[in-house]
Chain A
Amino acid sequence: MDFGFTEQEEAGRQEIREFLRQELGTVRTWTTPGEAISKDFTRKLAEKGWLGVGWPTEYGGLGRPYTEQLIYSEETMYYGAPSGSHILAQNMVGPTLIRVGSEEQKREYLPRILRGEITFCLGYTEPNAGSDLANCQTTAVPEGDDFIINGQKMFTSFAGQADYAWMTVRTDPNAPKKHRGISMFIVDMKTPGITVRPLETMWDYSLYEVFFENVRVPKNAVVGELNQGWHYLTVALDHERVFMGGVVAQHRRFFGELVEYAKNTYRNGKPLSKDPIVRQRLAQLATDLEIGRLFAYRVAWILGKEVIPFAEASMTKIFTSELEQRLANTAMQILGLYGPLGRGSRAPFDGYAGWEYKFSLMQAVGGGSNEIERILIAIAGLGLPRP
């Protein structure tokens, strides 16, 4: 056993850190990873080969272990790098295609993902298929050499900017079990018949609704085999949860700033950091952050063994999402009356704490709600009977 980083890993960390410092400066900006989109920045990462750190060399990756890839994503998260153009392709679509895609699809998409040229959105959720993704009602019906898609997706992140949708559709309405009749499609977002409408969130970012009206796509839009979409979905979702667990690094930075604030802000005649309650909370958060980070490495380690860490991925996602809410709450508590003040006021961190207090709700719902994740841990991880 060896929990240490190798020289190569340390060198990699230093290199990307230096790069990020130069590109983004040392002042943390407001954009959270995953939300901000910059094709330019994505291309710069691509030029360094950093989009494919953990991808196999035969597909143009660096062939490094997942644990090493995590180092790179930790650093980009920490620096709040704009990742909206690549995170989904890099962490979910790409790895899933490598596992299950056809040779043609691999040739078509993987190199362009690695060059930072194309972006994806994930179309799973629908009005009647939230947690119950198998209830997917968007249909794809064969017609000649094509499929015709009709239906609606909802809460689709990045749909307004993405080049492609990676999406579930119902291809066998008569399947004995709902999840057996679902296929995964890659759909060009510029195809006629697709309309995208923004859906504003409480924290001032848009999600989207995507409408499909007689959208004609070629047969090779089908990922892997027809009606095997459910399996691909679970693989992709698992990768998504692994990724969501990695966001701990982003919280580490805000936490560091909060600690500085507590040290330098006097209330009741002494620094906030000397207040026993504040100390307890900060110490708890420090512990949580350490646990979250270590566990993310454990999950990456398992993934590196070509094992899909179903239960562990759910654990890391739950733990991190709840940690984020505790962090936001503690920040608000420490800021007191200043907590609710918004951007462009006298608020510390330019109102980031209040924004984070709203945003922090999202991880406990998105990517599979924590309730469903806990059920997954119980069933897939512990072998408990289904309810």
Chain B
Amino acid sequence: MDLDLTEEQEMLRTMARDFLTKECPKTLVRELEEDEKGYSPELWRKMAELGWMGLVLPEEHGGMDMGFMDLIILLQEMGRNIVPGPFFCSVVLGSLPILSAGTEEQKKRFLPEIASGEMILTMALYEPNARYDASGVETKAVAQDNNFVINGTKLFVENAHIADYMICVTRTQEGASPEEGISLFLVDSKSPGIKCQVIPTMADDKLCEVVLENVSVPKENMLGELDKGWRIVTRALEHAIMAKCAEMVGGSEAVLDMTLDYVKERVQYGKPIGSFQVIQHYCANMWTNVATSRNLLYKVAWDLGEGLPVAKEIAMAKGWINQAYKFVTERAIQCHGAIGLTRDHDVGLYYRRAKAAELAFGDTDFQKELVAQQMGL
């Protein structure tokens, strides 16, 4: 057993932290909340130059051939800085499924461009029924000559408004179970018949509604096998959930640090408020939440990287980290008092994102149900 980061991982972390502190200050985060695109092309380009978009992709596809754990460490730093933009959807939701399920052709076509940051991907999975599971997929794709024709509405699609392609999850057949009959397509987001609209959200994270009306996609853009796409989604979600957890842990670390600084410095009744027992207990509980979350994150991400069975562990991790991040941000605001409630204070940026992250890919109730199922209950 070795629970430490490798030297390279430590370096990656330090480099990422220094870079993001400098290049992604909170002023930029706020600016981009209001911005229509929601990301900074300049920051995007610099991140691409550092090789981040291709961190885990093989060298032959323009990547750096690093492991999933390295990506987790990078995402933790991105979560710490709440970096706005399409990194998560392009790299985690876009490139990983292509890497694991794409044809050689598709890998050649998409991965180098994703790695270089020239192409942005996203995944169109959820729909207005707001279900997390396979039965939520109602958007239909029907074969027609050499194409498939897609009809339906996707909701909560991250950054679809700036994505070049989206992996669209569709139903191609009514199977015996909801998981059967699902197929994935790489859809050019400029295809005729696509209407995309950004939805105002609490985290200003540029979720979109995407309406697909008779959108024609060439057969060769199918990702994986016909009707067997849910397996790819499941695998993509496993990675996405751990990636989201990494962002959340990073965010909770930042909030804890911010709070500790504040309670040491803010004086009331002639003493730093951090000397009051109730504030000490809050901080102790916050730290415990952060420390346990981080440990669980690393363990399950490691399992996943090693190819071990993880269904139960991932559900546990997301369920736990959901609550931890929410708890930490909420207590942090309470420790700050009124100043923490102002729009100009950073802690609120995290509070809003914590809730959005909690509901992404399944809230705690949903995850606990999965744990129960995995326990054979």
Contacts and interface: CB of A to CB of B under 8 A. Distances in A.
Given A346-B155, A357-B355, A351 B200 contact: yes
Interface residues of B, number: 44
Contacts of A204: 343
B359 A336 contact: yes
Interface string B177-208: 00000000000000000000001111100010
Interface string A66-101: 000000000000000000000000000000000000
Nearest to A328: B355
A187 B270 CA distance: 29
Interface string A333-356: 100111111111110000100100
Given A341-B199, A344-B200, A345-B200, A332 B355 contact: yes
Interface stretch (A125-133, A226-234, A294-302): A125-133
A340 B268 contact: no
A169 interface: no
A161 interface: no
Contacts of A369: 334, 337
A267 B131 CA distance: 7
A333 B156 CA distance: 16
Contact of B355 (A268, A277, A339): A339
Nearest to A371: B278
Interface in A166-222: 199-202, 204, 207
A321 to B, nearest CB: 11
A346 B209 contact: yes
Which of B201, B267, B351: most chain A Cβ within 10 A? B201
A10 B320 CA distance: 48
B334 A365 contact: yes
Interface in B235-281: 267-270, 276-279
Interface string B121-164: 00000101111110100000000000000000001100000000
A346 B128 CA distance: 9
Given A332-B359, A362-B341, A338 B130 contact: yes
Interface string A312-340: 00000000000001000000110011111
Interface in B163-185: none
Contacts of A256: none
B199 A342 contact: yes
Interface string A356-371: 0110011011100111
A277 B130 contact: no
Contacts of B77: none
A382 B291 CA distance: 37
A345 B270 CA distance: 48
Given A267-B130, A267-B131, A365-B341, A202 B155 contact: no
Nearest to A362: B341
B201 A201 contact: no
A342 B155 contact: no
A55 to B, nearest CB: 30
Given A201-B342, A340-B355, A128 B130 contact: no
Nearest to B133: A268
Contacts of A207: 338, 342
A259 to B, nearest CB: 18
Nearest to B336: A365
Q: Is the interface of B mostly helix, strand, loop or mixed?
A: mixed
Contact of A132 (B268, B342, B363): B268
Interface in A109-153: 125, 128, 130-132, 135
A321 B52 CA distance: 44
A337 B199 contact: no
B348 interface: yes
B344 interface: yes
A343 B338 contact: no
Interface in B261-308: 267-270, 276-279
A218 B94 CA distance: 70
A155 interface: yes
Interface in B315-372: 330, 333-334, 337-338, 340-344, 348, 351-352, 355-356, 359-360, 363, 365
A42 to B, nearest CB: 26
A365 B337 contact: yes
A339 B357 CA distance: 11
A342 B155 CA distance: 14
28 contacts: A125-B338, A128-B267, A130-B268, A155-B338, A201-B343, A202-B348, A202-B351, A202-B352, A204-B343, A267-B130, A337-B126, A337-B130, A337-B132, A337-B156, A339-B202, A340-B203, A340-B355, A340-B356, A342-B199, A342-B200, A357-B355, A361-B351, A364-B334, A365-B333, A366-B338, A369-B337, A371-B279, A387-B277
Q: Which 8 A-B pairs have the closest CB atoms?
A: A342-B200, A340-B202, A200-B343, A132-B268, A202-B348, A337-B130, A345-B199, A354-B202
Given A132-B270, A365-B334, A366-B338, 8 more contacts: A135-B269, A202-B343, A339-B202, A340-B356, A342-B202, A343-B200, A345-B201, A365-B337
